[in-house]
Amino acid sequence: QLQLQESGPGLVTPSETLSLTCTVSGGSIRSDSSYYWGWIRQPPGKGLEWIGNIHHNGITSYNTSLESRATISVDTSNNQFSLELTSVTAADTAVYYCARMIVTAIYKDYFDFWGQGALVTVSS
Amino acid sequence: QSVLTQPPSVSAAPGQKVSIPCSGGSSNIGNSYVSWYQQLPGTAPKLLIYDNNKRPSGIPDRFSGSKSGTSATLGITGLQTGDEADYYCGTWDSSLSAFVFGTGTKVTVL
């Protein structure tokens, strides 16, 4: 069974960079060309917001609402992918989830496996 | 503000049926496949429905999905107390070039 686990600091200072890593176990990040690896966040008491995805070949896509502050990278040798979010503010306080996206055709995609989530608080 | 609109809450008695609508537009639901996610309190979202109406292995057939035009609907029959959760629709938006989630609906079993 595929498992995803987020890790990283739970507290980040305003204006600094939030960094999280997702470790994938029970399967390879490179095992299928239809797999993309994504980050989604959820502010306390609010809904889900897609941050972006990466393919094992390095191709990325991002939510433009984050104004280019997000960068997702992949480390296939360690079966991990990571998120960096720069210039954070209190509005970036959220539970951050990593998840696998299946893309079977254009506009035909969904998230089938999710990590348990990591709460990141932005505060001085 | 999400481009996919859901009612904040729906409720019904145990054993009854609820329907959760997800309203979008031509750039998202209108030309993309819809998925649905269940988020039990304090847990990560879980895939319930993909490709508009398909259920992953292990999801009971009490859960169903449908799509018509620019709207999608999640149906839950034989409502159980364990179904109390937040439910989100999701799809790709070709105008935003982004995966978008609905505003979320809280299901309460009376």
pLDDT band at A106 (very low <50, low <70, confident <90, very high): confident
Is B45–A101 a contact, with Cβ atoms under 8 angstroms apart? no
Average pLDDT over chain A, rounded to whole? 95
The minimum CA-CA distance between B3 and chain A, rounded to whole Å, is 12
pLDDT band at A31 (very low <50, low <70, confident <90, very high): confident
Cβ contacts (< 8 Å) between B100 and chain A: which residues?
50
Q: How far apart are CA A20 and CA A96, in angstroms?
A: 8
pLDDT band at A108 (very low <50, low <70, confident <90, very high): confident
Q: What is the mean pLDDT of residues A18-38?
A: 95
Write out pLDDT tens, residues B30-64: 999 999 999 999 999 999 999 999 999 999 999 99
Measured on CA atoms in the order A31, A61, B67, A116, is the torsion positive or negative?
positive
Q: How far apart are CA B79 and CA B14, in angstroms?
A: 5
Is A63–B98 a contact, with Cβ atoms under 8 angstroms apart? yes
Q: Which among B76, B98, B63, B73 is positioned nearest to B22, based on CA atoms?
A: B73
- What is residue B69's predicted lDDT score, i.e. its pLDDT? 96
Read off φ and ψ for residue A100, nearest 5 degrees.
-95, 130
Q: Identity (one letter) of the amino acid at A51?
A: I
Note the Cα A35 to chain centre separation in Å: 14
pLDDT score of A50 more than 90: yes
**Among partner residues B32, B88, B94, which is closest to A48 by beta-carbon distance?**
B88
pLDDT band at A105 (very low <50, low <70, confident <90, very high): confident
Q: Distance of CA A104 to CAs A74, A75, A85, A107, Å?
A: 21, 23, 28, 8
- What is residue A67's predicted lDDT score, i.e. its pLDDT? 77
